Homo-oligomer: A and B are copies of this chain.
């Protein structure tokens, strides 16, 4: 994997780049649609590539490990072939879902023991096993197992979890390096900076992880309930400590208006379930603000969801029709709404990238901030 920086903003930390993977070139900054169970809910792979031109999606190791299982996915030729997605895939380590979805977690220095939310079966994730699972998937970018705390956490608990995260990253990296030598795998492995909301712990964690000389670095432990300003502050503290020539990935953010804020702080990659989950719940992002489609005002509205949007949904359908589908609980609503919200996020990232390349990012950011205040 090779990361090439094409342009840097002279006033902010924003950069535009190209991330070269075995499954195509990803233009950064990039927003990665979430395809938890090897599908972006309601969207065909054809539309993900053709309509949205997504270059990389995220899939969740926890879910796919439990069902259909990494052995099966490996047997079917890996995740790309299994889901018929020829472009890049990033998988998380499963740690976050273990902490948020499963029962009866027991963390030791070895790893984390948990019970499946599907059938209650006990499983153990270790730093080594989660690398193995993701190698079975054949992910382009794998993540190390980390310990992600809820917000708020004490400095002591955060320090302890951070130390364990560093130790796990070292273990994972040794294992990964051996496996790459054995198998010639092209998968990259990103460590994750933890440290809760404590700048000193974030700094310490970043410093330790730098020694791994990884292909890229993630900032984790955000979007866990803290105020949004704090997520940005932690990113601002951490991003400058990470290598300039490697991609930086902030996990699980954010709202559309936050995307340029993260980019301004030197972030290259983001993912979030918001556009797809909100879509299914009838919350649509538009250039004119939020459209809550169930509202009676849209009952006879012949306009597209967003007159400035070029997605299939906006090219084809009215708010009135979408509201009808939503009210009637029709499957098609989820598909059309998700297509729209993802296009909104991806278009916004493409605008951000374009403005960095053109040298106009500060003005772009300024305009967005001013329109947010109004």
Chain B minimum-CB-distance residue to A37: B328
The answer, among B63, B324, B336, for a CB contact under 8 Å with A44, is: B336
Asked if residues B335 and A45 are in contact (CB atoms below 8 Å), the reply is no
- A80 CB to closest chain B CB, in angstroms? 12
Q: State whether the Cβ of A312 lies closer than 8 Å to any Cβ in chain B.
A: yes
CA distance A152 to B126 in the complex (A): 65
Asked if residues B330 and A37 are in contact (CB atoms below 8 Å), the reply is yes
Asked if residues B38 and A84 are in contact (CB atoms below 8 Å), the reply is no
A46 and B312 in contact (CB under 8 A), knowing A76-B300, A84-B321, A321-B82?
yes
- A269 CB to closest chain B CB, in angstroms? 25
The answer, among B42, B45, B302, B336, for a CB contact under 8 Å with A316, is: B45
- A303 CB to closest chain B CB, in angstroms? 12
Q: Which residues of B contact A68 (CB under 8 A)?
A: 299, 320, 323-324, 327
The answer, among B77, B83, B324, for a CB contact under 8 Å with A38, is: B324
Copy total for this chain: 2
Asked if residues A72 and B300 are in contact (CB atoms below 8 Å), the reply is yes
CA distance A76 to B302 in the complex (A): 7
Asked if residues B330 and A44 are in contact (CB atoms below 8 Å), the reply is no
Q: State whether the Cβ of A325 lies closer than 8 Å to any Cβ in chain B.
A: yes
CA distance A331 to B35 in the complex (A): 12
Chain B minimum-CB-distance residue to A66: B328
The answer, among B67, B327, B331, for a CB contact under 8 Å with A324, is: B67
Q: Which residues of B contact A327 (CB under 8 A)?
A: 67-68
Q: State whether the Cβ of A186 lies closer than 8 Å to any Cβ in chain B.
A: no
CA distance A299 to B72 in the complex (A): 8
- A74 CB to closest chain B CB, in angstroms? 11
Sample of 9 more A-B contacts, CB < 8 Å, known A37-B330, A38-B324, A68-B327: A39-B325, A46-B316, A68-B323, A76-B300, A76-B302, A82-B320, A82-B321, A84-B317, A84-B321
The chain A residues found within 8 Å of chain B, CB to CB, are: 37-39, 41-46, 63, 67-68, 72, 75-77, 82-84, 299-300, 302, 312, 316-318, 320-321, 323-325, 327-328, 330-332, 334-336
